Amino acid sequence: MFTPAIGLSTHIWNNNARALLLLAGFPLLLAFMAFGISVIFAAGSDSIVAAFADAWHNLPWFFGLGLILAGAWFAIALATHQRIMDWITGAHPVTRESDKRLWDLMETLCISRGETMPRLGLIETQARNAFASGLSRKLGVITVTRGLVDALDDRELSAVLAHELVHIRNGDARLAVIAAIFSGIMTLGFGGGGSSGGTPAPPPREEAPPPEEPARRGGGWRWLPRGRRSGSSNNSGLAIVIIIIGIIIIIVAATLSVALRLALSRNREYLADAGAVAITGDADAMINALRRIEAQAAMPNLPGQVQAMLLHSASGASGPSLWSTHPPIADRIAALVRFAGGRDPGPIAEVAPLEAPEAPAASEALRAEGPIAGPTAGPWAQTASPLSEELARLRARRDNGA
């Protein structure tokens, strides 16, 4: 169905195709889940065949209601997804005044490449990670963690920001947002189906014969009369079996929704790494950034939908597995070494624990001594002056129309 992603243009085309696939596949999965819920509500039928017949007859009612609720939820989530993302992750906006270094690095990249400046967000955690979100280039958002900003020098941090900027440019961020919303709706539907479709308490035994059921011969809602729900052990056992079948259908639908979300190509990370090198011209910086990130990337408190959007997720980096969302960092580094001519320093040992009380003082002392040569010098490896001069030069070129 998809063209092999031999370049950025085909990758962007494939992302658009996957977005359409998600849009087309979601109503089918929603109908499948609605059928499972309908089966549960038909648990009082005389047989499994009758239960399926009643569930099929009532499916338009459940599917219509589910479609209305899902449509309302999708519209709300689409309009407020970034606020929801910030609330889930605890991110807060970054301004030039609040973090001049991060802002200047991002602005330098955008001006040099003619890209729209994305909104910047910061998560106050010592984990080292980042992700991009937003439905278009103009609405893009790049969120990084405090641990990432503190651990990386300017070259490495620029490489990470360029990596996330490529995700926005290629449409990866838009596809991830759509997939996260769809998966969230299906998860919500599964929870709702489970609570609405729990095993019902056995109804009281009715000695009188049940009234006729005219609805079974006509159209509309085919709801079983109480008289059909016998209190006998046989019918109670059949009802439990029908309910279990309905729950299994719902679980299958929810699992397929996760599979659709994970249909995001793992090649997106390789291409974003390559795009970052194309922007910065510094393969070593991207490799060093990945080495610094790999040891402390875990953010287990985030839901799976957000985990799949991170720069690296150890839980989702299981190679070519059907359920993996990221390639292993070792494979990404090997690709940069092979195709971009980068140099891999190997695992980078930390000088001191991130939370050690003496770390800030050590940083200030090293900063006072001046720049430190080498790709693993740390966040103080560059002084602010060259960056400020470069940014001023780029701003002048932009303002002069050069």
Give residues with Cβ within 8 angstroms of 1, minimum separation 6: 17, 21
In a domain, 223, yes or no: no
Among 29, 19, 14, 11, which Cα is nearest to 252's?
Answer: 29
Residue 382 per-residue DSSP state: S
Average pLDDT over residues 332-348: 89
Average pLDDT over residues 212-223: 45
Per the rule left: phi > 0, alpha: psi between -120 and 50, beta: everything else, 346 is left
In a domain, 219, yes or no: no
In a domain, 217, yes or no: no
Q: What is the pLDDT of residues 161-215, one digit of tens each?
A: 999 999 998 888 888 887 777 777 776 654 443 333 333 334 444 444 444 444 4
Q: Are residues 289 and 151 in the same domain?
A: yes
In a domain, 158, yes or no: yes
Q: For residue 144, list its beta bridge partners.
A: 122, 130
CA 205 – CA 213 distance, rounded (Å): 19
Q: Are residues 71 and 16 in the same domain?
A: yes
In a domain, 165, yes or no: yes
CA 15 – CA 64 distance, rounded (Å): 29
CB 154 within 8 A of CB 101: yes
| Full DSSP string of 216-272 | GGSSS--PPPGGGS--SHHHHHHHHHHHHHHHHHHHHHHHHHHHHHTTS-THHHHHH
In a domain, 68, yes or no: yes
In a domain, 216, yes or no: no
Q: Are residues 183 and 289 in the same domain?
A: no
Q: What is the pLDDT of residues 271-327, one digit of tens each?
A: 889 889 989 999 999 999 999 999 899 998 888 878 888 999 876 555 555 567 788
Q: Are residues 296 and 308 in the same domain?
A: yes
What is the total count of domains within the chain?
Answer: 2
Q: What is the pLDDT of residues 59-115, one digit of tens each?
A: 999 988 888 888 888 888 888 888 888 999 999 999 999 999 999 999 999 998 888
Q: Are residues 129 and 37 in the same domain?
A: no
Q: Are residues 27 and 115 in the same domain?
A: no
Domain carrying residue 239: 8-82+177-200+230-261
pLDDT band at 124 (very low <50, low <70, confident <90, very high): very high
In a domain, 23, yes or no: yes
Q: Are residues 287 and 395 in the same domain?
A: yes
Average pLDDT over residues 261-273: 73
Beta strands 130-133 and 141-145, pairing class: antiparallel
CATH number of the domain bearing residue 104: 3.30.2010.10
pLDDT band at 386 (very low <50, low <70, confident <90, very high): low
Q: Are residues 299 and 394 in the same domain?
A: yes
Average pLDDT score over the chain: 75
Q: Are residues 183 and 78 in the same domain?
A: yes
